[in-house]
Amino acid sequence: MLPVIALVGRPNVGKSTLFNRLTRTRDALVADLPGLTRDRKYGEGRLGDQSYLVIDTGGISGDEAGIDQVMARQSLMAIEEADIVFFLVDGRAGLNPADEMIADHLRRSAKPCHLVVNKTDGIDPDTAMADFYGFGLGNPKPIAAAHGRGVLSLIEEVLAPFPTDAEQDEALEEERSMRIAIIGRPNVGKSTLVNRVLGEERVVVFDQAGTTRDSIYIPYEREGQKYTLIDTAGIRRRKHITEAVEKFSIVKTLQAIRDANVVVMVIDAREGVTEQDLHLLGFVIDAGRALVIALNKWDGMSHDDKEKVREQIRRRLEFVAFARMHFISALHGTGVGELYASVHEAYDCAMAKWSTNKLTRLLEDVVADHQPPSVNNHRIKLRYAHQGGSNPPIIVVHGNQTDSLPQSYKRYLENRFTKILKIRGTPIRFEFKTGD
C-alpha cells in the first residue's frame, strides 16, 4: 500500500506550504475533490523509488471549545486514514493553547506521529524547538517548508520502513492475476457492479484469508483466467449502508488506482460527468493506468437525457478518448458482461511487449512520412526506439537534440504509434534521450 502522511496543525503553521513541497515532485498529481472531502486535500508525491500520499487538513483553529471541536472532524478522519502524522507547529509563534490540545489528542492516538517545527529559517532552531520538547511526542524536527530545509531528511526518515514501488509491484505480480479496480464517486453504483461481477455463474470467488493483503482485494476466477477485483466500495465488509461520504475513501481509491492494471471508472449517467469524476480520472491518467469507463444507471433514462449525456461525454471526456465507453445498468446486469472484452483489450495493450527492432522500424517509417523540424539549421534526428516499460507502455526514443522536439511532433509520434500498434484502453508514454 502507498504510505499515507497526514498533515495536521492549527491554521497558518505552514501545512499547505509543506503539502505543495511534498507533492510537487511529480506535476499535476495534486488534486482535491471538493464536496466530498470538506477541507481535506489529497496529493501524491515521490521520493526516489517510493510513492506516497499526503493529506492536507485545512486548519484546526484554536477558537473552538473542547478537543472534539478543535480536532475538527476532517482532521480526525485524516489521522484515521494515515499511516504517519506530521503535527506541524510554528517555530516563530511558539507554543499555542491549540497546539497543546492537538498534542494531547495525538498522544492518546496510536498513530506514529512526528512533531515538526516549521519556519525555522532565519532563527535559531534550538530556541524554536525548546518550547515543544514537553509535548511528549518525541524530539521535535526543525524544518522550513517554504525553503525546503529539513523536508528531505524528514521524509526519508519516515518512508524508510516502507517498501519501494518496485517491491510493491513485485509482491502484486506474484499473485499472477489481472487486477481490476472499480472506482467512482459515492452512489454511482460501484457496490452494485461488484456484486454483479462476483455474482455471475461463471465466477469462482476464492477465500481471501492469506491470499491478499486486504479484504478489499478479492481474488476470483472466470473462464480459466485469474482476476483480483479491487473493491473500493468495500461491500465485502459493509454490514449496513452508512452515510455515502463515510464509505467513500479517497485514500483507498488512490491506492486502488496505483495497484490496478485496469481501472473501471463508474460514472452515474443520471448525474452526468461531474468535476469529481474529472478529478478521479486525472489521477488515473497520472498513474498511467489502463482505463474502461462505465456509464451506469443507463436503464430507464429518457431518449433526451441519453442524448444530453452523450453530448456531455463528447465534450468533457475527450482527454480520455483512448478508453472504451460502456453504457450499462449494474442493477439489471445490462452491458456488464461486455465490460470484460474492453478490460481484456486494455490489459493486453497495457502489457504488450514490442522488440527494439519492431519499434525502430516503426519509428523510421513514421519519421519518413513526416520529418522532425530543424533547429539551428540542424535537423533533429530520431535514431532508434525501445520499450522502457509497460502498464503504461513506455517508448524510449533515442536521437539528437530531442530536447528541442516540439510538442506537436511528440503528439504526432504518439498518435501514429498508438494507431499502428493498435493500442486501445491505455495511455502510452514517450521518453526522449539525446546522445549516441
Which phi and psi angles does 251 have, rounded to 5°?
-60, -50
CA distance 158 to 162: 8
Which of 56, 43, 46 shows the shortest CA–CA distance to 155?
46
Which of 178, 185, 183, 298 shows the shortest CA–CA distance to 228?
178
Interface map 322-341 toward ligand GDP (x if CB under 6 A): -------xxx----------
CA distance 289 to 293: 12
Q: Are 391 and 425 in contact (CB under 8 A)?
A: no
Q: Is 11 near ligand GDP (CB under 6 A)?
A: yes
Helix, strand, coil fractions of the chain, as percent rounded to 5: 35, 25, 40
Q: What is the dihedral of CA 340, 341, 345, 348, to 10 degrees?
A: 60
Residues 372-411 that bind ligand GDP (CB under 6 A): none
Q: Where are the beta strands (DSSP E) in 145-224?
A: 178-183, 203-205, 217-222
Stretch that binds ligand GDP, among 187-195, 284-292, 344-352, 419-427 (CB under 6 A): 187-195
Least separation, in Å, of the C-beta of 339 and ligand GDP?
Answer: 13
Residues 51-80 that bind ligand GDP (CB under 6 A): 59
Choice from 2, 5, 6, 14 touching ligand GDP (CB under 6 A)? 14
CA distance 182 to 172: 17
Least separation, in Å, of the C-beta of 13 and ligand GDP?
Answer: 4
* Residue 68 burial by Cβ neighbours in a 10 Å radius (0-12, 13-18, 19+): exposed
- Residue identified by cell 465466477 is 203
Interface map 125-164 toward ligand GDP (x if CB under 6 A): -------------------xxxx-----------------
Choice from 172, 233, 256, 285 touching ligand GDP (CB under 6 A)? 233
Residue type, 290: A
Between 36 and 203, CB nearer to ligand GDP: 36
Choice from 192, 261, 342, 426 touching ligand GDP (CB under 6 A)? 192
The reply, when asked if residue 261 is annotated as ligand binding, is: no
CA distance 400 to 388: 18
Question: Under 8 Å CB-to-CB from 422, ≥6 apart: which residues?
Answer: 349
Between 332 and 410, CB nearer to ligand GDP: 332
Between 4 and 188, CB nearer to ligand GDP: 188
Choice from 32, 165, 299, 305 touching ligand GDP (CB under 6 A)? 299
Residue type, 303: H
Q: Is 190 near ligand GDP (CB under 6 A)?
A: yes
Q: Is 15 near ligand GDP (CB under 6 A)?
A: yes
Least separation, in Å, of the C-beta of 145 and ligand GDP?
Answer: 4
Q: Is 119 near ligand GDP (CB under 6 A)?
A: yes
C-alpha cell recorded at residue 424: 486501445
Choice from 23, 37, 249, 296 touching ligand GDP (CB under 6 A)? 296
Choice from 118, 168, 342, 391 touching ligand GDP (CB under 6 A)? 118
What secondary structure does DSSP assign to 309-359, as a single string?
A: HHHHHHHHTGGGTTSEEEE-BTTTTBTHHHHHHHHHHHHHHHH----HHHH
The reply, when asked if residue 120 is annotated as ligand binding, is: yes
Choice from 25, 96, 187, 212 touching ligand GDP (CB under 6 A)? 187
Instruction: Please tell me the count of residues contacting ligand GDP according to CB under 6 A.
Output: 31
Stretch that binds ligand GDP, among 12-20, 29-37, 108-116, 131-139 (CB under 6 A): 12-20
Least separation, in Å, of the C-beta of 423 and ligand GDP?
Answer: 29
CA distance 226 to 230: 13
Between 192 and 360, CB nearer to ligand GDP: 192
Q: Which residues contact ligand GDP by CB under 6 A?
A: 9, 11-17, 59, 118-119, 121, 144-147, 184, 186-192, 233, 296-297, 299, 329-331
- Residues belonging to the binding site for GTP are 9-16, 56-60, 118-121, 184-191, 231-235, 296-299
- Residues belonging to the binding site are 9-16, 56-60, 118-121, 184-191, 231-235, 296-299
